[in-house]
Structure 1
Amino acid sequence: MGGPIKVLVHGTGFAGQGHAEAFRYAGAEIVGIVGRTPSVVKKIAAELKIPYGGTDWQRALVDCQPDVVSIATPGGAHFDPIKQAIAAGCHVFCDKPLTTDGDSASILFQLANDKGVKTAFAASFRYMPEVLHAKRLVAEGAIGEPLEVECISHFNLERDIPFGWSHRKEDGGGRLNNNFTHKLSIVTSVIGEDIQAIMGEVRDDLGKAPIVEGVHNFKTRRDHIPEDLNDPSLEWGESNVEWSYNVTAQINSPFAKNPVTALFKHGGLHPRFHEDYIAFYGSKASIYIKGHYGSGPLYLYGTDKSWTERKLPADIAATIPDVEGDTERNWRYLIRELLRDIKGEPVGHYQTFKEGAQYQRLIDVIRLNNSWTDVSHLQ
């Protein structure tokens, strides 16, 4: 492949702009960007100095002839653009969720596999520095055999965030698609990628949200919360996705004789009393990382029976892209791996549409909410 790798971005919001900057960081050339609204596309293309801006994805694939496409729209808008890009022979970088259900995600995985294109699935918080640190410690045997994992988080999200894609299953919304994907990716990166069994339950603790025009950037949606929520003229949209979940998984690990139990507990609307955390418990020691996505610091509980903070190793720190924002940094890490792979350079394991499809199938199972056993007759 002569010259820089050419990238076409689908999406003009926070993710689209972040993907474009991440690909540039890795040495790629952004040849075009596509969005729904002509005025927005024109503005973003000018701000990011992207030569081509349009609203017709199929036309852009022909006009720009990209090597890679970057999919940065909500999950409900992923299937057709990805299918078209694969047919055009493009490699694909896609944010989570891959699609809105396991069947459609599996179709995309198979299409990409048949076409022989590279894919990357951006459940990318596995590249948090302290998660990489935990991965090394577990592989070195620092905790003995891993036995159990806890991922506990409470986001206390504003209930009156304007109604949008995050409230709708058909658009890729819900906390499983937009939180659990990252948590599961973190755990499997440390423990092992072989998920054996899963059970869980979900709840919609929200119900409804105000409908507000003009919300474009996901990160600034809080700025559009109506001042008067009792205004009788205000319209409301009905949520049909989960805002809380409890999931338990069993994961085979190359470092353990028996499957490791992983608990994922998330309350999207609930306040936290103390910090969120991720913990890995082993037969000899344990690891505790502060933060819902493992932002740190990391502590090790060892033979002295106390928690000791462990400094991030310098060689791990040296691999971390230098940019503000965890999301942006993790995109850059994964995109760097994808481009190295496309160039034929050696890379470690990174998540592809194989995991993207698997995660959607797992979410389908969890959303069935049928893991309960009726014991009322035992009373």
Structure 2
Amino acid sequence: MSKQLRIGIIGAGDIARNAHIPNYQNYGEDVHVVAVANHNKEKAIQCADTFSIPYAYEDYQSMLEEMSLDAVSICTPNKFHADQAIASLQAGCHVLCEKPPAISKKEAENMAQEAERAGKILTYGFHFRYTPEVETLKKFIDAGELGEIYASRAHYNRRRGIPGWGVFTNRELQGGGTLIDNGVHMLDTVLYLMGYPEPKTVLGATYQKIGNRPGVGLLGEWDYENFSVEDMARGMITFTNGASLTFESTFAANVEETSSKNVTLMGDQGGADLFPLKIYQEKHDTLLDSTPAYLEKRDVYQHQVHHFIDSIMHDSQPLSTAREGVIIQAIMEALYESAKTGEAVNL
């Protein structure tokens, strides 16, 4: 008889409703979402009714104590990730936590240490790893087609893409703005493709130039009077292996494209751009640009959740690890510190 997994959801907002709950429920008969918790009990009840989840809680601690859960998805503001993940791990649950891991390196370290102590999976919602572009490029990299990757750049820019919902513009609850919301996706993606090298120094700058005044909102109206996060973040990271990375993300900037994201890798045997995927090489005295003839379309959130379940079922390492969460959190924390002091931060 196959293992039956009991799943709990902490948080009942859009990411829980759109990315997590449906994809647990479409995995198969071995997986059951049995409870959802939200600090607003009415919202938890509405979510439970919508998805036919048996139990709704106001207090996630009570859910952990009473429901004999095997795994938990954490879909709450960043400020709460560490406490909720650690409590879930201590309750014997595997954890899929939405990005970013936390709001400080120390919190991410505590989460990783607890996962190791508990012998449970702690993984993060870096769903771009599951895109066919990343999956395909990773195969080329692992086969040595790019050689030593020594330089890279990544960006995730929006022209007027300040979120008009949730708490994305609230520093107290989120810990930051574009860097840890949309920017963290491309930062994780480029680090993943580079093999998550150990960071050495971080030099960064952040700006709040557009979000603190009224204007066009392509993602809805935001509370500009209480906008307390950066709308642009830029940085340069060096690594102990000699590689370097330049990075940029924006909620709002005066650029041409409404939304643009990409990773560029430069190796001694080849290079690549990710979106759209193109590989650059020199072979037989010829400069070659290679593009896939076909890439499948896929629901990356479904792949992410199903991979999490498979990792539990087969006792295997997930694609995104707790230790990688510590590294990316350290880089982001250092970028914020560098932006504050105007000096490079040594890690």
**Shorter-chain TM-score tier:** 0.7 to 0.9
Unmatched 5+ stretches in structure 2: none
Q: Which amino acid aligns with 2:306?
A: R
Q: Distance in 1 between matches of 2:184 and 2:219?
A: 23
Alpha-carbon spacing, 1:23–1:149, altered in 2? closer, same or farther (3 Å): same
Report the secondary structure of 1:143's partner residue.
Answer: coil
1:346 offset after TM fit, Å? 4.6
Q: Distance in 2 between matches of 1:145 and 1:44?
A: 48
Q: Distance in 1 between matches of 2:342 and 2:145?
A: 34
Counterpart residue number, 2:21: 20
- Write out aligned runs for 1:1-379 (5 A): 3-17=3-17, 18-27=19-28, 28-158=31-161, 162=164, 165-172=167-174, 173-199=176-202, 200-206=204-210, 208=212, 222-223=219-220, 225=221, 237-251=225-239, 259-273=242-256, 276-290=261-275, 296=276, 298-303=277-282, 304-305=286-287, 307-312=289-294, 317=296, 322-323=298-299, 329=300, 331-346=301-316, 350-368=319-337, 369=339, 370-372=341-343
Deviations along 1:61-102, one digit per CA (max 9) or x if unpaired, are 233211001100111122332232122111111001222212
1:239 offset after TM fit, Å? 2.8
Q: Distance in 2 between matches of 1:107 and 1:189?
A: 22
Deviations along 1:153-173, one digit per CA (max 9) or x if unpaired, are 3211355x5475211222124
1:9 offset after TM fit, Å? 0.2
1:120 offset after TM fit, Å? 0.8
Report the secondary structure of 2:274's partner residue.
Answer: strand
Report the secondary structure of 1:114's partner residue.
Answer: helix
Indicate if the aligned counterparts of 1:153 and 1:272 stay in contact, CA closer than 8 A: no
Matched residue pairs, number? 330
Indicate if the aligned counterparts of 1:247 and 1:264 stay in contact, CA closer than 8 A: yes
What TM-score results when the alignment is normalised by the length of structure 1?
Answer: 0.78
1:337 offset after TM fit, Å? 2.7
Indicate if the aligned counterparts of 2:34 and 2:53 stay in contact, CA closer than 8 A: yes
1:192 offset after TM fit, Å? 0.9
Q: Which amino acid aligns with 1:277?
A: N
Q: Distance in 2 between matches of 1:196 and 1:244?
A: 22
1:283 offset after TM fit, Å? 2.2
Q: Distance in 2 between matches of 1:244 and 1:334?
A: 28
1:251 offset after TM fit, Å? 4.1
Aligned-pair identity in percent equals 21
RMSD across aligned positions (CA) = 2.8
Deviations along 1:196-221, one digit per CA (max 9) or x if unpaired, are 323122222245378xxxxxxxxx99
Alpha-carbon spacing, 1:19–1:367, altered in 2? closer, same or farther (3 Å): same
1:277 offset after TM fit, Å? 2.6
Is 259-268 or 89-98 further displaced after alignment?
259-268
1:246 offset after TM fit, Å? 1.2
1:14 offset after TM fit, Å? 1.3
Q: Which amino acid aligns with 2:249?
A: H
Unmatched 5+ stretches in structure 1: 211-219, 227-234, 253-257, 291-295, 324-328, 374-379
Deviations along 1:244-290, one digit per CA (max 9) or x if unpaired, are 111222346xxxxx532221122320144365432112223321222
Q: Distance in 2 between matches of 1:273 and 1:148?
A: 26
Is 118-127 or 137-146 further displaced after alignment?
137-146
Deviations along 1:127-182, one digit per CA (max 9) or x if unpaired, are 211111111112223233323212133211355x5475211222124122113321
Report the secondary structure of 1:193's partner residue.
Answer: coil
Q: Distance in 1 between matches of 2:72 and 2:191?
A: 26
Q: Which amino acid aligns with 2:13?
A: G
Counterpart residue number, 1:376: none
